[in-house]
Amino acid sequence: MATKSTRHLVAPELDGVIDVFPPMDHTQGMDVLRGGFANREAPPLPPELAAISCVERFIPGAPGDPDVRVLHYTPPGKAAAPRPAVLEIHGGGYVLGTADMSDAANRAIARSLDCVVVAVDYRLAPETPWPGSLHDNYAALCWLAGNAGELGVDPARIALFGGSAGGGHAAALALHARNQGGPALCFQLIDYPMLDDRTCVDAEPHPYAGEFVWTPELNHFGWKSLLGTDPGGDGVHETAAPARASDLSGLPPAYISIGALDLFLDESLEYTRRLARAGVPVELHVIPGAFHGSGLLQDAPQSKLASDLRMQALARALGTG
């Protein structure tokens, strides 16, 4: 991290969100850390989003694991043909968040793309280290694909979508599904993804990235919580830290978006490069002046741009655009 503040590099339209972002102090315990997000009151849904059906379901987990809670979103009306589907995996540094935190966004995806959305409430670290969350996410994917007919879903058009830790989870799930010969995926949208535990021990960290919101200290805490050991060491599996995968071939087409001041910038750029060299179609966008979590300010032009690019990419991948 830079020795001097990088605030002068923040886009002016995003600057104000730095001071109002919920504080994240992991030294005060998990309840305090999570409470800053869990206690945020969501604004009322507009009628068009409230019209999207949301059903809470509990689906079978992996053998020996508990059931997995998911939120199942369906647009109103009867579809003329099976709809595409998006499996959404929430962010939160591997240690916080719930499926509910993306409720409005998931409703908007379902409405705009006329698709089914399933949001996974995977188990969090440190209480459940890897591979617990991977098992939960894979169980949700298998349930979605295995019940496609009942859910009105086209099994050939299932995409993954996740941001931050959710982006890391989505990338890991794509690898796991490939390795297991599991359900086919048409797309992976991994937004500002948390991909590489070795960023925590980088001898030459990016001098202009990671000052705001998700800092190197929090990154170390998140990765240690997930791995159950200090990050950056030997023996970390690729489905814990996808950047460690030796072979990225055969993965679904990918979309990556990252802020220029995000701590995950370098690992996102490197993952994009390696995907391309493995023959995986990949689209990359670097948002100038944006930092991790700056999309919280939804009306900023940078946030609107990132949102529009995501929706356009999903629409193309699902065949709805």
pLDDT digits (tens, 9 = 90+) for 4-25: 899 999 999 999 999 888 778 8
Mean pLDDT of 168-183: 98
CATH number of 243's domain: 3.40.50.1820
In a domain, 2, yes or no: no
Whole-angstrom distance, CA of residue 254 vs CA of residue 170: 10
- The dihedrals phi and psi of 2, each to the nearest 5 degrees, come to -65, 150
- CB proximity list for 226: less than 8 A, separation 6 or greater: 94, 95, 125, 126, 129, 130, 133, 240
Residue 290 backbone phi and psi in degrees, to 5: -100, 145
Question: Is residue 90 annotated as a catalytic residue, yes or no?
Answer: no
Residue 1 is predicted with a pLDDT of: 45
Predicted pLDDT of residue 37: 65
In angstroms and rounded to an integer, the radius of gyration of the C-alpha atoms of the chain is 18
- The confidence score (pLDDT) of residue 22 equals 76
Residue 233 or 39, more confident: 233
pLDDT at 35: 81
- Indicate whether 132 belongs to any domain: yes
At 225 the three-state DSSP class reads helix
For the stretch 246-304, pLDDT in tens is: 999 999 999 999 999 999 999 999 999 999 999 999 999 999 999 999 999 999 999 99
307, part of any domain: yes
Q: Is 262 a catalytic residue?
A: yes
Residue 280 in any domain: the answer is: yes
- Per annotation, catalytic residue among 26, 262, 266, 268: 262
Residue 69: domain span:
7-318
Please tell me the predicted confidence (pLDDT) of residue 39. 60
- The pLDDT assigned to 56 comes to 98
Average pLDDT for the chain: 95
Q: What is the mean pLDDT of residues 51-59?
A: 98
The answer to whether 294 is a known catalytic residue is: no
| CA nearest to 303, candidates 5, 9, 8, 17 | 17
Q: Which one of 26-35, 39-48, 112-121 scores highest in mean pLDDT?
A: 112-121
Model pLDDT, residue 38: 64
Q: Which two structure tokens, joined as six digits, stand for 285?
A: 């966008």
Residue 213 lies in a domain: yes
User: Which candidate in 102, 133, 164, 294 is catalytic?
Assistant: 164
Q: How confident is the model at residue 2 (pLDDT cuts 50, 70, 90)?
A: very low
In-domain check, residue 21:
yes
DSSP 160-222: EEEETHHHHHHHHHHHHHHHHT-S--SEEEEES----GGGGG-SS--TTSS-SSS-HHHHHHH
pTM: 0.96
- pLDDT more than 70, % of the chain: 97
- Report strand pairing: 116-121 vs 68-74: antiparallel
Q: Rounded CA gap, 207 and 64, in Å?
A: 45
Q: Tell me how far apart the alpha carbons of residues 289 and 295 are, in angstroms, rounded to a whole number.
A: 11
What three-state secondary structure class fits 103? helix
Amino acid, res. 78: K
Query: Which pLDDT does position 102 carry in this prediction?
Result: 95
Per-residue DSSP letters for 36-79? Answer: HHHTPPPPPPPHHHHTSEEEEEEE--STTSPPEEEEEEE-SS--
Nearest Cα residue to 95 out of 262, 223, 216, 243: 223
Residue 1 maps to a domain: no
pLDDT digits (tens, 9 = 90+) for 127-138: 999 999 999 999
* Number of structural domains in the chain: 1
Q: Which of 154, 292, 294, 303 is catalytic?
A: 292
Confidence band for 155, pLDDT divided at 50, 70 and 90: very high
Handedness of CA 292, 293, 297, 298 (dihedral sign): positive
